[in-house]
Structure 1
Amino acid sequence: MEVDSLVLLLLLSIPLLSIILLSQNNRRKKALYPLPPGPKPYPLVGNLLQLGPISQPHVTFTSLSKTYGPIFSLQLGQVTTIIVSSHEYAKKIFQNHDLALAGRHEPDAVRILSHHEWSVPWLPPGPRWRSLRRLCTTELFTNQRLDSHLLLRRQKVQELLDFVSKSAEVGAPVEIGWVAFTTTLNLLSSTIFSTDLAGFYSDSSQEFKKTIESIMEFAGCPNVSDFFPMLTPLDLQGVRRKMNPLTNFLYKIFDEQIDRRIKNREEGSTGRDDFLDVLLDSQLGEGGPDFRRPLKSLFGDLFAAGTDTSSSTVEWAMAELLQNPVTLAKVRNELASVIGPEREMEESDIGQLPYLQAVVKETMRLHPPVPFLLPRRAQETVELGGYLIPEGAKLLVNVWAIGRDETTWPDPLKFLPERFLEKEIDFKGRDFELIPFGAGRRICPGLPLAYRMIHLMLGSLLHRFEWKLPKEAVNCGVNMSEKFGVTLAMAHHLKAIAVSVQVNISHERLVQN
């Protein structure tokens, strides 16, 4: 829905809101504690009409932080919202108040089919959340599990390189985000279901990608139902109506995989020893008509978060490199020096490629996969930097702003991987200047897999091919505009032309590997 329409809808809703608020006698008590500074709210709608178009809220809120400081408050409808835009305040949150501020403000969009009730990202801390997170961590993301899937990741990346190589032979442009998405999608589906869900030569991958992108966009878009929960049943913007077929598309695929596995088990087939088998053997898969609900919610989270964030980071990295030929040459020279022409890149090479690591870090600084992380809810009232965060408040950590803070990063808008060669900063939740995956107890559990796959896909593409922009993009450059949702995607997907580099890999060496 267009932002102008949202503003009009808010104006039209004011009389209805007035009646409901008065009927509920919902008079706010004056706070006995100071909220963080912010613009004075209007009655009923709060600051919503003062923000202007909010199709890019990460940009709008970054601009407001320059006026009101690194922590400020907004009244967005009925929801008190605190925005943090500095690594110092982020550190206070994750180190001093992680548990008290670890709740979730789930958008109405993720409540479709009760998805939020079994969702690791959206559940509040509690026994169910801990159980599901532990299951994902131990069965998918431990180093031991990841090492056991090493050959599978190598196979999927080789399929990526084979497809790009065939495109290079005919000079066809490669849509970077799509090939990275397809690679990650099939890696996850092979790990979870022991089968590929898409292919480079079919429409299934594009359909899956468009579905995931739409889900992320609707889940992150401004929604009247989120600002005024009392209006949720009306679904004034039709977000639930739009989300329903998207979620059903995914759930139908998951149902087919579950049905097939149950049928195989009933016929006496041995298990695949994949994640689906683990889940069917766990308490989640035990009896009852609703045993599929937690499985499908879990699969939805894994595929949405796992594919979208990794593929988007590879796409942003390639876009930055194609605009910075000197940087592109540096990273390709490092790959050539460390790996050479006689073999493909391996995961074990990542530690020997500091400049490639710096490129990935710099990409995540400028283009964090989730610009606000996921919205937190204060589970109790806490003091933060001299201000009190009231219980129930929505808390946003603007990592997009933190990555562009000129007091932390010299020339913050320039793509300079060298800055990460000069000082040790990582994105694993310990250095709060760079937290694209979050920090604390709610740090993304898939970070270890994302780390391996992003470096492996990007490094392999740069090692095996030279890259150039299509003719139509040479003069005008790469369109770097953003499309906001839960994740921050390129509004116009990057296409580039690959030129194969001679790699002398013997057949015997491939067999040995």
Structure 2
Amino acid sequence: MDVVHFQELFSATVLFFIIRFFISKLLKPHPPLPPGPKGWPVLGCLPLLGSMPHASLAELARRHGPIMHLKMGTCDVVVASSPDAAMAFLKTLDHSFSNRPPGAGPTYIAYNAMDMVFADVGPRWKLLRKLANLHMLGAKDFGDWSPLRHKEVGLMVRDIYELSQQWKPVPVLELVSCALANIIGQKSISRRVFTAHGEESNDFKSMIVELMRLAGLFNIGDFIPAIEWMDLQGIQGKMKRLHNKFDALLTKMLEEHMKTAHERKGSSDFFDIVMGIKEDDGVALTMTNYKALLLNLFIAGTDTSSSTIEWAMAEMLKNPSILNLVQAEIDTVVGKNRRLKESDIPKLPYLQAICKETFRKHPVVPLSLPRVTSEPCEVNGYYIPKNTRLFVNVWAIGRDPELWENPHEFNPERFLSGKNANIEPRGNDFELIPFGSGRRICAGIRMGIAIVQYVVGTLVHSFDWKLSDGVEIEMEAAFGLVLGKAEKLKAMAIPRLEPNAYEDSSS
């Protein structure tokens, strides 16, 4: 065989093996999709979700498994309903599932995802997270503005005390939301949002509740993009109108804030710092980013925490023995001559257990904010296609009888001893992830836990609570992005501290 023929044969052989390699790769079957229900034509599994999607998906997971695939419209969706499944997606594959999918909420409410919650991971998102952690939500800075929280909670206590003297029922959610909005407002833009609870604060709260309700709906247009323009459910139109109201309010707040910047020399607030940064590593923030970030702070800082606090109070009114036990614990540590302080909380394990149990039984974000995978991947032997949307069913994990004994009971003692004693809601124990986990964990997790513990502790220490005659407590939930109580809690408060403890909000 001459050299030319040998070279031709060698080249042909190499080409043959290259072609066979790529054909084998193309023809090699990937692992199966996770199991899941069969859906309807065109709509897929959207009609199976019902009015309480978290509960419907939990029931489907009992049949199909903790990693479940659904076709919703034209979109692939995977739902994780166990701690191991959640850890696989949020820890092992965190990098792949780090972005949010497009949708009406990010587009029409969050300024086309120009905020911190819905933005894709990238330079702008990293800058917003860094600023929030450095100047508002990080451990050091959060501790520095503890006196502000103590004062605002004191003003709330004073309002409750005045209602108690008139023997009027306390609208718990309204008063708590008002206090939390004022805390966020003072830290972020140096102003109390409301000087008093009432019609103005109710309007603001109603706007937030409506926003969270709309953002939690499964919008058909999000899952069948070809018909998105038709807005069949009217969700997008409602979002646009609500966005305009919020935009006008946020614009006014930030414009007034800029006009008074000269008055805060040497005592800058959060937005003084943020708006003073013209550029960071090539990223320049705009007024749209500022408004989107302020909206994030008000939403995350008020509605989620106030709803959790309302659920905790409702459970204790339903279980008076729990209320008595936590009051006795706080009395031992604090006494009755002053109000509870945040620095007291580490000495109050039963109070902490009550808050953990509320996070478990009543996670206010029952389905974690969706993520989307940027590449195909495998999870526990299942194939997950590119652009698959991920939901973690936090509600289902918290009510799984294999994880929790008598999961439908409100039992704080489960966190004081036994297998659950060391579980914390901070994103590392996947049995309890009310704030999510991984790089997209809620930026305000530290504030969320501390505020819930502090306000719940203050309410039960400062007052005895009872329902008005003939009133029964209802525990039905209203679905949205936040799972709040359908019937808002109103209860009678009876002062239980020395009178001087109610006189000065700073005491």
Normalised TM-score (structure 1): 0.88
State the SS of the aligned residue for 1:432.
Answer: coil
Which amino acid is 2:208 matched to? I
Match of 2:11 in 1: none
Instruction: Give deviations 1:410-429, integer Å, cap 9, x for gaps.
Output: 00000000000012110001
Which amino acid is 1:143 matched to? A
State the SS of the aligned residue for 2:435.
Answer: coil
State the SS of the aligned residue for 1:405.
Answer: coil
Q: Does 1:490 align with 2:488?
A: no
Match of 1:9 in 2: none
Q: Does 1:144 align with 2:140?
A: yes
Structure 1 contact 366–413 (Cα < 8 Å) conserved: yes
Superposition deviation, residue 95 in structure 1: 2.2
Q: Does 1:368 align with 2:363?
A: yes
Structure 1 contact 271–277 (Cα < 8 Å) conserved: no
Match of 1:402 in 2: 397
The structure with more radius of gyration = 2
Structure 2 contact 278–285 (Cα < 8 Å) conserved: no
Taking the TM superposition and a 5 Å limit, the aligned residue runs for 1:418-433 are 418-422=413-417, 423-433=421-431
Relative distance call for 1:132 and 1:337 in structure 2 (3 A) is: same
Q: Does 1:97 align with 2:93?
A: yes
Distance 1:75 1:368 in 2: 26
Match of 2:312 in 1: 317
Superposition deviation, residue 258 in structure 1: 2.0
Relative distance call for 1:369 and 1:511 in structure 2 (3 A) is: closer
How many residues align? The count is 475
Distance 2:279 2:188 in 1: 15
Distance 1:67 1:386 in 2: 18
Distance 1:465 1:123 in 2: 42
Superposition deviation, residue 113 in structure 1: 6.4
Q: Does 1:460 align with 2:463?
A: no
> Which residue of 103, 112, 124 maps to 1:128?
124
Distance 1:118 1:135 in 2: 15
Match of 1:40 in 2: 38
Which amino acid is 2:445 matched to? L
Distance 1:96 1:84 in 2: 13
Match of 2:152 in 1: 156
> Which residue of 306, 321, 337 maps to 1:342?
337
Q: Does 1:276 align with 2:271?
A: yes
Distance 1:360 1:241 in 2: 37
Instruction: Give deviations 1:143-176, integer Å, cap 9, x for gaps.
Output: 2111211110010000010000001101111111
Distance 2:275 2:46 in 1: 46
Match of 1:21 in 2: none
Superposition deviation, residue 470 in structure 1: 1.5
Instruction: Give deviations 1:331-387, integer Å, cap 9, x for gaps.
Output: 111111111011110001110000000000000101102111101101111111111
Structure 1 contact 179–200 (Cα < 8 Å) conserved: no
Which amino acid is 1:155 matched to? K
> Which residue of 447, 450, 458 maps to 1:449?
447
Distance 1:176 1:344 in 2: 18
Superposition deviation, residue 290 in structure 1: 9.0
Match of 1:187 in 2: 183
Q: Does 1:439 align with 2:437?
A: yes
Q: Does 1:417 align with 2:385?
A: no
Q: Which moved more, 1:39-48 or 1:373-382?
A: 39-48
Match of 2:353 in 1: 358
Normalised TM-score (structure 2): 0.89
> Which residue of 166, 172, 180 maps to 1:170?
166
Match of 1:3 in 2: none
Superposition deviation, residue 70 in structure 1: 1.0
Taking the TM superposition and a 5 Å limit, the aligned residue runs for 1:253-272 are 253-265=249-261, 270=265, 272=267
Structure 1 contact 365–436 (Cα < 8 Å) conserved: yes
Relative distance call for 1:506 and 1:96 in structure 2 (3 A) is: closer
Instruction: Give deviations 1:236-269, integer Å, cap 9, x for gaps.
Output: 222121112322222222212222233335x787
Distance 1:511 1:112 in 2: 40
Taking the TM superposition and a 5 Å limit, the aligned residue runs for 1:288-327 are 291-327=286-322
Relative distance call for 1:240 and 1:417 in structure 2 (3 A) is: same
Structure 2 contact 106–113 (Cα < 8 Å) conserved: no
Match of 2:216 in 1: 220
Structure 1 contact 309–487 (Cα < 8 Å) conserved: yes
Q: Which moved more, 1:125-134 or 1:227-236?
A: 227-236
Match of 1:5 in 2: none
Q: Does 1:54 align with 2:50?
A: yes
Structure 1 contact 55–221 (Cα < 8 Å) conserved: no
Which amino acid is 1:231 matched to? I
> Which residue of 55, 79, 82 maps to 1:83?
79
Distance 1:30 1:121 in 2: 38
Relative distance call for 1:268 and 1:487 in structure 2 (3 A) is: closer
Structure 2 contact 154–505 (Cα < 8 Å) conserved: no
Structure 2 contact 110–118 (Cα < 8 Å) conserved: no
Which amino acid is 1:242 matched to? K
Which amino acid is 1:379 matched to? S
Match of 2:324 in 1: 329
Q: Does 1:206 align with 2:202?
A: yes
State the SS of the aligned residue for 2:312.
Answer: helix
Structure 1 contact 341–505 (Cα < 8 Å) conserved: no
Distance 1:506 1:466 in 2: 15
